[in-house]
């Protein structure tokens, strides 16, 4: 459960009838300048309900997030 004072940014990376990947991120309270990133993979049943979910959790600085973005967007 997240503290009510946290601002959580959420977006969906991929969404199909059977599979979804979402990202949730927020700045942690301490130490300053560190961010939490949750990559949430969900397998959906035929009715669109979550059948199975896995969360991959990372803590990164803004600079590290920038490097991750560069790597993901590189061709």
pLDDT given for residue 75 in this prediction:
67
State whether CATH 1.10.287.3510 applies to domain 9-73: no
What is the rounded distance in angstroms from the CA atom of residue 6 to the CA atom of residue 21? 22
What is the rounded distance in angstroms from the CA atom of residue 9 to the CA atom of residue 31? 19
Domain boundaries, the chain: 9-73
Q: How confident is the chain (75 residues) per 10-residue block, as mean pLDDT?
A: 83 95 94 95 96 97 94 85
Report the chain's terminal Cα–Cα distance, integer Å.
Answer: 37
pTM (global) more than 0.85: no
């Amino acid at each position: 459960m997240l503290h009510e004072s946290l601002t959580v940014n959420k977006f969906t990376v991929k969404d199909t009838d059977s599979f979804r990947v979402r990202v949730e991120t927020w700045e942690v309270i301490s130490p300053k300048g560190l961010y939490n990133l949750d990559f949430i993979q969900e397998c959906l049943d035929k009715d669109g309900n979550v059948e199975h979910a896995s969360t991959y959790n990372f803590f990164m600085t803004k600079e590290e997030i920038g490097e991750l973005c560069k790597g993901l967007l590189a061709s």
